[in-house]
Amino acid sequence: DAGVTQSPTHLIKTRGQQVTLRCSPKSGHDTVSWYQQALGQGPQFIFQYYEEEERQRGNFPDRFSGHQFPNYSSELNVNALLLGDSALYLCASSLGTRRGAYYEQYFGPGTRLTVT
């Protein structure tokens, strides 16, 4: 059973460029969340996709956008890259959400983005 996979593993971009990161959820999962981990901090929630729609968004600018495909895989897009966007981007998948239910999120290994 494949776990959560992310691509690419590492990426180097220049300020002002755009980047797309990809995530395939764990088999059977239909919900994908994206997190950004900057150095010395815990992962920060960017947004979550469920049924191909953005269900919830964290405190990130509109330069961060995403998409979920019918097969539940997801992309994270970041436009107009800043130096401060350099971080590890983690994708997590889970099995649906319903109000009042907790759920485990399974994480991928992350994509290390460096903006120069």
Partner 1 sequence: ILNVEQSPQSLHVQEGDSTNFTCSVPSSNFYALHWYRWETAKSPEALFVMTLNGDEKKKGRISATLNTKEGYSYLYIKGSQPEDSATYLCASQGPSGGYNKLIFGAGTRLAVHP
List Cα–Cα distances, 76 to 1, 5, 103, 104, in angstroms.
24, 14, 22, 21
Applying the rule CB under 8 A, the residues between 66 and 95 that interact with partner 1 are 90, 92
**3-class SS of residue 99:** coil
Among 1, 14, 28, 42, binds partner 1 (CB under 8 A): 42
* x-marked contacts with partner 1 along 1-40 as a string, rule CB under 8 A: --xx----------------------------x-x----x
CA distance 45 to 56: 9
The dihedrals phi and psi of 38, each to the nearest 5 degrees, come to -85, 160
Residue 60 is a binding residue for partner 1 (CB under 8 A): no
The helix (H) or strand (E) run that includes residue 107 is: strand 106-107
Among 12-20, 55-63, 69-77, 79-87, the segment contacting partner 1 (CB under 8 A):
55-63
In the complex, the smallest distance separating the C-beta of residue 18 from partner 1, rounded to whole angstroms, is: 25
